């Protein structure tokens, strides 16, 4: 499932509108809609903001896992461990995005 599909799916399951998410992360609704429609890709920092606004681990939006409410049945210690895990995963994703961007730029020049 693509990131935009996961974002939409989680948002709908949470019962949140595009306007509400856009407000929470400080952008316009049309910009947010472009991310959900796959017309634009959010930057990693923005993806983190979206995950925070949806109150899910950022890994929910890019891993191949089914959505599970992260607060359901977790202790504060488990939530802290999940957050630390998410931060490590974000570093990995940044590395891949950087590599893909470099490859794209290299291929565009050649």
Answer for the pair 54, 13: CB distance below 8 angstroms, yes or no. Answer: no
Q: Is the predicted pLDDT of residue 75 greater than 90, yes or no?
A: no
CA distances from 78 to 13, 52, 70 (A): 23, 17, 10
Using a cut of 0.75, tell me whether the model's pTM lies above it: no
DSSP H or E stretch at residue 5: helix 3-14
Residue 23 confidence (pLDDT): 94
Nearest by Cα to 12 from 44, 54, 52, 50:
54
Instruction: Report the pLDDT value the prediction gives residue 67, as an integer from 0 to 100.
Output: 44
pLDDT, tens digit, for every residue of 56-69?
Answer: 888 888 755 444 45
Query: For residue range 40-51, what is the model confidence (pLDDT) as tens digits?
Result: 888 888 888 999
Could you tell me if 47 and 40 are in contact, meaning their C-beta atoms sit under 8 angstroms apart? no
């Amino acid at each position: 499932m693509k990131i935009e599909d996961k974002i939409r799916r989680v948002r709908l399951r949470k019962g949140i509108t595009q306007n509400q998410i856009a407000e929470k992360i400080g952008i316009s609704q049309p910009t947010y809609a472009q991310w959900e429609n796959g017309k634009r890709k959010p930057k990693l920092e923005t993806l983190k903001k979206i995950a925070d606004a949806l109150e899910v681990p950022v890994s929910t939006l890019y891993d191949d896992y089914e959505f599970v409410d992260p607060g359901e049945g977790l202790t504060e210690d488990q939530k802290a461990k999940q957050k630390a895990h998410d931060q490590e995963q974000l570093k990995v994703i940044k590395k891949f995005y950087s590599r893909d961007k470099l490859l794209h730029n290299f291929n565009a020049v050649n």
